């Protein structure tokens, strides 16, 4: 089956009764595919702040941050991000794919026209944007077995001590919902004097102290943390948090920052508002993770393989694309929208339906879904 764009419409998304619904072909469906984990894209405080900035600064900054688009308030937001992530400095980028694909070549000194030897060690199930960034370095990339730090250590041992090393991992994996051991990755990075690059896209807002993710806390001077605002923050854009030294290198060398129009003021406003709200959402985080555990346990009782997920992302690993599509159709008829994920997004033979939960989902909806699942044979 080839990919196609599916037209989706919404009723008023700011009404609670519509928070987790979408409309496809005129039919209202419960949406199990959103990354809006804290439901902040519908938060009225965020919307009002966005309106205020839109009316004050207009709809666009109309240029790169290096020309005339570096609104003074951006520095304030970046300071807030640094406090949130526990790092020295931060920079806001456009989309996460653009950031990862240009930041990795920059930090390894392998932008277009450069050739500096470095060995990259990347988890085999890292996001496509990371893989793309690694490819653009034109350097050796070793993809270690998923979450297998013994394999990572084995590969690192085989490299020359003189060769610069770069370790990359997501902290919460977007298609499997499982978690990296960040403290152990730090130990290995220190052992081999490697740069450690952690992608917190799906963990920020949900895990860690006040939603600050897994990388917050212990310091490692050669650590880079990246994340996105299009998920738990309910907005758009991405960021990098790291040391002042690395930030200076990024400002001077990263094409994804230098040659891109700054985000619209209304988007910066939504990020600003979300940064003030997220630390206060401990109740929502607790509810989200409890509901996720509840649904996982229900599905496991029906012999549905959910892998090693420990998060709000729950894969139903069916291993057959046709069965996935058949199940998707049945659930659409019952009022649920599911997303089928197949190769090359996931490995061939691990085709799945990826469920992602939000804090506004009611347990009654999860019970209804699981009861339907019990009656559908795969």
CATH code assigned at 247: 3.40.640.10
The 3-state DSSP class for residue 277 equals helix
Q: 258, 279, 300 — which closes off a domain?
A: 279
How does the average pLDDT of the chain come out, rounded? Answer: 95
pLDDT above 80 (res 133): yes
201 shares its domain with 66: yes
pLDDT (0 to 100) of residue 377: 60
Quick check: is 313 in a domain? Answer: yes
pLDDT above 70 (res 236): yes
76 shares its domain with 88: yes
**Rg of the chain, C-alpha, whole Å:** 21
pLDDT (0 to 100) of residue 14: 81
Interacting residues of 138 by C-beta distance below 8 A, sequence separation 6+: 110, 115
99 shares its domain with 214: yes
262 shares its domain with 300: no
Quick check: is 151 in a domain? Answer: yes
pLDDT (0 to 100) of residue 115: 93
Specify whether the CB–CB gap between 110 and 103 falls below 8 A: no
pLDDT, tens only, 242-278: 999 999 999 999 999 999 999 999 999 999 999 999 9
202 shares its domain with 346: no
In eight-state DSSP terms, residue 305 is -
**Can you tell me the distance from the alpha carbon of 266 to that of 47, in angstroms, rounded to the nearest whole number?**
9
The 3-state DSSP class for residue 10 equals coil
Quick check: is 4 in a domain? Answer: no
pLDDT, tens only, 317-345: 999 999 999 999 999 999 999 999 999 99
User: Confidence class of residue 13 from pLDDT cuts 50, 70 and 90?
Assistant: confident
Quick check: is 3 in a domain? Answer: no
HSE at residue 372, side-chain half, CA atoms within 13 A, is 16
pLDDT, tens only, 95-132: 999 999 999 999 999 998 899 999 999 999 999 999 99
Rounded to an integer, what is the distance from CA 365 to the centroid of its chain?
Answer: 25
Residue range 361-366: mean pLDDT, rounded: 95
pLDDT, tens only, 17-29: 788 999 998 899 9
pLDDT above 90 (res 72): yes
Q: Which domain holds residue 307?
A: 16-31+282-375
CA angle 175, 181, 182 (to 5 degrees): 105
Report strand pairing: 165-170 vs 195-199: parallel
313 shares its domain with 179: no
Report the percentage of the chain scoring pLDDT > 90: 90
CATH at residue 340: 3.90.1150.10
């Amino acid at each position: 089956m080839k990919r196609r764009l599916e037209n989706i419409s919404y009723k008023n998304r700011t009404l609670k009764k519509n928070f987790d619904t979408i409309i496809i072909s005129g039919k209202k469906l419960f949406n199990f595919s959103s990354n809006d984990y804290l439901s902040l894209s519908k938060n009225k405080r965020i919307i009002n702040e966005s309106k205020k900035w839109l009316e004050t600064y207009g709809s666009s900054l109309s240029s790169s941050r290096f020309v005339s688009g570096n609104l003074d308030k951006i520095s304030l937001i970046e300071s807030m991000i640094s406090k949130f992530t526990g790092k020295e400095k931060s920079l806001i980028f456009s989309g996460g794919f653009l950031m990862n694909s240009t930041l990795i070549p920059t930090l390894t000194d392998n932008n277009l026209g450069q050739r500096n030897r470095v060995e990259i060690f990347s988890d085999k199930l890292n996001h496509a944007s990371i893989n793309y960034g690694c490819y653009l370095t034109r350097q050796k990339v070793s993809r270690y077995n998923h979450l297998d730090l013994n394999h990572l250590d084995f590969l690192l041992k085989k490299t020359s001590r003189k060769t610069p090393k770069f370790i990359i991992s997501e902290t919460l994996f977007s298609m499997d919902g499982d978690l990296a051991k960040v403290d152990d990755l730090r130990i290995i990075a220190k052992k081999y004097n490697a740069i450690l690059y952690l992608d917190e896209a799906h963990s920020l807002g949900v895990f860690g102290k006040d939603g600050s993710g897994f990388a917050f806390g212990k310091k490692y001077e050669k650590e880079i943390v990246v994340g996105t605002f299009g998920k738990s923050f309910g907005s758009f854009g991405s960021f990098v948090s790291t040391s002042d030294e690395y930030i200076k290198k990024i400002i001077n060398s990263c094409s994804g920052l230098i040659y891109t129009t700054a985000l619209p003021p209304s988007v910066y406003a939504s990020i600003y508002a979300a940064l003030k709200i997220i630390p206060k959402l401990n109740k929502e985080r607790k509810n989200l993770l409890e509901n996720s555990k509840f649904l996982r346990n229900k599905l496991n009782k029906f012999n549905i393989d959910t892998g090693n997920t420990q998060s709000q992302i729950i894969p139903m690993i069916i291993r057959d694309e046709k069965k996935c599509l058949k199940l998707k159709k049945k659930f659409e008829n019952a009022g649920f929208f599911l997303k089928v994920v197949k190769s090359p997004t996931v490995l061939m033979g691990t085709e799945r339906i990826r469920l992602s939960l939000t804090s506004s989902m009611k347990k009654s909806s999860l019970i209804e879904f699981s009861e339907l699942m019990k009656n559908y044979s795969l």
